[in-house]
Chain A
């Protein structure tokens, strides 16, 4: 298969993830949708890496995976903190950022 096909799949997955962030209100599912978008970017990066025959894109994809793991830990920590304080687990209810 040509590289263009992989990029098309990547674009589709990215758009599905973006639509999911818009449509869902559960922060857990929103985090999952962020994962989808990051993975779509990874697929494109690895596709380009293959296109140039160069390993740099794969390193970039690995770093993106590290960043995704960080985002997940902090996001899930926030959700657990919300749950502990009996806050509603719903992004529409969390309107205010109070320092």
Chain B
């Protein structure tokens, strides 16, 4: 039974991964990635990682992918086609690189001589991979990585808001020059009323600069 589930989930994961890189519309790529993540969660369950599988489905396939869908529908309009694909030579080159990487990884992983690689793993102990075990580990042995990860999330959230927030007058760039993204944009004072929720809601008129 677990063999059947493994092959279904593994094929689903690989098909989803191929779909991500082969589909032309970024929205369909995101949907393929959602399918890939859910198949991967099934594989995690087969490996007895219950908590990680649940986090994968809820956080990854749920929250992170919704963020992707928002940005794809915000950016990907038909007026400005994004990301033309490279020529045949570059595609074949990338395919060859990928194939070489597969061979290399197979040699590295399967030829590593780890004895347990041909087994089903260590004997299953009740409670392995349960939220209780993960929580216990996170709050005792891995407390420092846990705290650092939470600070990393905070920094990333603040950074994303700072990067993406709107500044009146700066969107078009400097007259006569191609538009750029630069660190100086973050330090320049913004006109009153820009970059606020009130402006986004159209309740504050931003005057000409």
Residues of A within 8 A of B (CB): 1-20, 22-29, 31-33, 35-36, 39, 42-44, 46-47, 49-56, 58-59, 61-63, 65-74, 76-91, 98-99
The distance from the CB of B55 to the nearest CB of chain A, in whole angstroms, is 7
- A71 to B137 alpha-carbon distance, docked (Å): 25
The closest CB in chain A to the CB of B154 belongs to: A70
Pick the contact of B68: A1, A72, A83 (CB < 8 A): A72
Further contacts, 13 of them, CB under 8 A, given A9-B14, A28-B72, A66-B152: A1-B46, A11-B106, A16-B98, A19-B94, A32-B20, A55-B128, A56-B137, A61-B52, A70-B156, A78-B164, A80-B71, A82-B181, A87-B180
What's the tally of chain B residues with a CB closer than 8 Å to chain A? 100
Pick the contact of A63: B49, B109, B145 (CB < 8 A): B145
- A44 to B112 alpha-carbon distance, docked (Å): 14
Residues of B within 8 A of A (CB): 2-3, 6, 10, 13-14, 17-18, 20-21, 26, 29-30, 33, 36-37, 40, 43-44, 46-49, 51-52, 55-56, 59-60, 64, 67-68, 71-72, 74-76, 80, 82-86, 90-91, 93-95, 97-99, 101-102, 105-106, 109-110, 114, 116-125, 128-129, 133-134, 137-138, 141-142, 145-146, 149, 152-153, 155-157, 159-164, 166, 170-173, 179-183
- A5 to B4 alpha-carbon distance, docked (Å): 13
The closest CB in chain A to the CB of B130 belongs to: A55
Q: Is the interface of B mostly helix, strand, loop or mixed?
A: helix
Q: Is there an interface contact between A15 and B98, defined as CB atoms closer than 8 Å?
A: yes
- A35 to B61 alpha-carbon distance, docked (Å): 11
- A76 to B109 alpha-carbon distance, docked (Å): 33
Known: A53-B125, A63-B149. A77 touches B183 (CB 8 A): no
Chain B residues with CB under 8 A of A31: 68
- A56 to B51 alpha-carbon distance, docked (Å): 13
Chain A residues with CB under 8 A of B152: 66-67, 70
Pick the contact of B171: A14, A16, A77, A85 (CB < 8 A): A85
